[in-house]
Chain A
Amino acid sequence: MASFLEDLLKKMQTAPHVGIPPVTNPKVPTKVERDAAEFAARQQATPKQDYGSGSSFDQLMKSIANSQHPTMRFGDPAFGNNGQDISEADFEKWDDLCVNFIEKKNADKAKRKHKSNNTLSVQDEQ
């Protein structure tokens, strides 16, 4: 004679599972899988645009780089790019002009000083 427990197990094995979705059936995609597939399809349909990392800073840097200014300039006079958008030969030319001007100024100053010293020594003698 079958025990009560054996009968119960038999009933459980044969009973239909009504109303329970076959979530473990690999052939039917889950909701998560369906959503992921839908998202991937939408992504593929959207035309690709290059936003760098997506930040506005990247876009700003790109627009600066593409602008008509060959190099970036900043307020700090010591900034590396300032004044470097000329060729080395041109720079030498400007530098020579500058040095010559300063030397001429210094020579004028020395002359003035010499003249003033002479005037003072003449006054002393008188």
Chain B
Amino acid sequence: MRQLNILSLNCLGGHIYRDLLKYPYGNPFIWTRLDNNDFIKLLEHYETIDFLNYELIKEGDRLDKFRVLIDDNIKIQFNHHRFDAAAYTPQRRGVDIFYNKIWEYIADIYEKRLSRMAKVVDLVAIDDWDDSLYIERMKEICTSKKYPLFICTDRLPEHDNDTIIIKPRVMHNGHGPGPGDIWQDYSTEIKRLLKIKGEP
């Protein structure tokens, strides 16, 4: 059975895989961050991108910022993957991974998860905390490509059908929801888009 392919531009995708579905990660974008423009490029050209043509990039003089540049065009930011000289094996602390060869680990998980990535997009999950123009554009692309889409936003009117669900943000103790809250607020809707039955 193939893995579900959920695309997200931030940690929302990771929470859906790990906390809601408890499924193996089905693409290399899990627990990473993509800029809005890069995510739009990924959605627009998903079928034609050569994901094997990637380059690992160390940014700056330090060992803390690593990016993967896909097909000379799309940059993934590995913000949860950190260098720690004392970590001789990969160590998980919360959602962060610490390792003294974290660059090898990043290349390894990129390739492993890429090998599981399906050509079909099962869900695009967007947590809106940015510009509404980007959100509108992502919605347009998903609509035209018939990618099932879940957006948690106050910028667009609420919407609910078989392929697109747009829901408002729910406040948590006076604060806006983080990716870790959204999957819990709308677990039923997300599962419905993924056509998965059962209670969260």
User: What residues of chain A have their CB less than 8 Å away from a CB belonging to chain B?
Assistant: 77-78, 82-83, 85-86, 90-91, 94-95, 97-99, 101-102, 105-106, 109, 112-113
Inter-subunit contact B65/A78 (CB<8 Å)? yes
Per a CB cutoff under 8 Å, which of B58, B64, B103, B104 touches A82?
A: B64
User: With a CB–CB cut-off of 8 A, which chain B residues contact A86?
Assistant: 85
Residues 98-125 of chain B, each 1 if its beta carbon lies under 8 Å from chain A, else 0 = 0011011001000000000000000000
User: With a CB–CB cut-off of 8 A, which chain A residues contact B52?
Assistant: 112
| Distance, CA A85 to CA B101, complexed state (A) | 16
A94-B85, A106-B55, A113-B53 as given contacts; A101 in contact with B63, CB under 8 Å: no
Per a CB cutoff under 8 Å, which of B55, B64, B101 touches A97?
A: B101
Asked if B51 CB lies within 8 Å of chain A CBs, one says no
User: With a CB–CB cut-off of 8 A, which chain A residues contact B104?
Assistant: 101
Per a CB cutoff under 8 Å, which of A90, A99, A109, A113 touches B85?
A: A90
Inter-subunit contact A77/B107 (CB<8 Å)? no
| Distance, CA A82 to CA B84, complexed state (A) | 9
Give the one of B52, B63, B65 with max A CB within 10 A. Answer: B63
Within 8 A of A (CB), among B39-72: 52-58, 62-65
User: With a CB–CB cut-off of 8 A, which chain A residues contact B17?
Assistant: none
Inter-subunit contact A83/B55 (CB<8 Å)? no
User: With a CB–CB cut-off of 8 A, which chain B residues contact A94?
Assistant: 63, 83, 85, 100
Per a CB cutoff under 8 Å, which of A83, A102, A112 touches B58?
A: A102
Chain A at the B interface: SS class: helix
Inter-subunit contact B55/A109 (CB<8 Å)? yes
User: What residues of chain B have their CB less than 8 Å away from a CB belonging to chain A?
Assistant: 52-58, 62-65, 79, 82-85, 100-101, 103-104, 107
Inter-subunit contact B58/A99 (CB<8 Å)? yes
Inter-subunit contact A105/B107 (CB<8 Å)? yes
Inter-subunit contact A83/B53 (CB<8 Å)? no
| Distance, CA A94 to CA B63, complexed state (A) | 8
| Distance, CA A90 to CA B64, complexed state (A) | 15
Give the one of A85, A94, A113 with max B CB within 10 A. Answer: A94
User: With a CB–CB cut-off of 8 A, which chain B residues contact A101?
Assistant: 56, 101, 103-104, 107
Inter-subunit contact B82/A82 (CB<8 Å)? yes
Q: A77 — nearest CB in chain B belongs to which residue?
A: B64
Inter-subunit contact A95/B63 (CB<8 Å)? yes
Give the one of A102, A109, A112 with max B CB within 10 A. Answer: A102
Inter-subunit contact A83/B62 (CB<8 Å)? yes
| Distance, CA A78 to CA B59, complexed state (A) | 11
Q: B107 — nearest CB in chain A belongs to which residue?
A: A105
A97-B101, A98-B103, A101-B103 as given contacts; A78 in contact with B64, CB under 8 Å: yes
Q: Write the nearest CB–CB distance from B84 to chain A, whole angstroms.
A: 8
| Distance, CA A78 to CA B65, complexed state (A) | 8
